[in-house]
Structure 1
């Protein structure tokens, strides 16, 4: 029987996180080592890793933002500086990134990470909504978010810098 552990990130997890990031996303969508280190240093409460038998197979990172009905698309830019938008007293949780190694997908690990993050953050912080962006091409991710109560609220035209310059779908959930 495998031993699954979800824990807060540590700085020395960065190599495994970058391995997952590069396995999960193509260039132009994957985020930088510096962006992840910045997230770890700024808001480790909102950054979890999933281990199976002591091997890091997945991660989820987040930020707390002030709630805005009218959304500024620039806030979602890849590799943005968390320190410019993160507000521990905000009321909206932004799920900035989630990744699971390809060979370990379809085992429910992404859902475990997602639900654990939401449970931990909503117990500790005054969150009333959550927001994220997802590529219009990532049907499995969209289904995961919809299953967890997220609704589509907008489109970020040509948001992702992949081969097709895919649109991003903004999704929000009120708690």
Structure 2
């Protein structure tokens, strides 16, 4: 069994991340190649890829804000990113379906949380669909109820994890 390697993203990972995103999310919700390229260039320290045997199998990515919830615009552009903000948001946690249910998403999430703590963030924010609420609760996230988000036309729930 190979050990999962988690590292910061590099520009060479762009196409692979885009393919995994398209596999994990419906087209209306998936980030495009250009959105990923902007995220890579603006905040690479908030974008981690998971490699297994030198193959990228998943990733987690986000941005930083002082807001208490993720605004839909933030999924499309990094214009709302505040480098020294209090809260880090998660745009997506993706693991290729071929590698799901093996704990890799959990390793990515734990890595992201530790990086957020080291960076001095106060909270981690995310939105998720109803069937994932209990999954995120295992990390200590609190469900705030139905989100105002209209991203991709889906029903989302706001969750947060207090770090300090």
CA distance in 2, matches of 1:129, 1:153: 14
Q: Which residue of 2 aligns with 1:47?
A: 47
How much has 1:100 moved relative to structure 2? Answer: 0.5
Q: Which residue of 2 aligns with 1:58?
A: 58
TM-score calculated relative to the size of structure 1: 0.86
CA distance in 2, matches of 1:157, 1:89: 25
After superposition, the Cα gap between the structure-2 partners of 1:67 and 1:77, relative to the gap in structure 1 and judged at 3 Å, is closer
Q: Which residue of 1 aligns with 2:77?
A: 81
How much has 1:160 moved relative to structure 2? Answer: 4.2
Q: Which residue of 1 aligns with 2:105?
A: 110
How much has 1:98 moved relative to structure 2? Answer: 1.1
Count of matched residue pairs: 163
CA distance in 2, matches of 1:121, 1:158: 23
Where in structure 2 are the equivalents of 1:82-101 lying within 5 Å? 82=78, 84-101=79-96
Q: Which residue of 1 aligns with 2:147?
A: 156
* Maintained 8 Å contact 1:29/1:78: no
* 4+ aligned runs moved over 2 Å, structure 1: 76-80, 141-144, 156-161
After superposition, the Cα gap between the structure-2 partners of 1:67 and 1:26, relative to the gap in structure 1 and judged at 3 Å, is closer
Q: Which residue of 2 aligns with 1:167?
A: 155
Partner-residue secondary structure (3-state), 2:137 = helix
* Maintained 8 Å contact 1:45/1:121: no
Partner-residue secondary structure (3-state), 1:12 = helix
How much has 1:96 moved relative to structure 2? Answer: 1.1
- For structure 2, the 5+ residue unaligned runs are none
TM-score calculated relative to the size of structure 2: 0.91
- Deviation digits for residues 100-120 of structure 1, max 9, x if unmatched? 001110000101001001112
The Cα RMSD (Å) is: 1.7
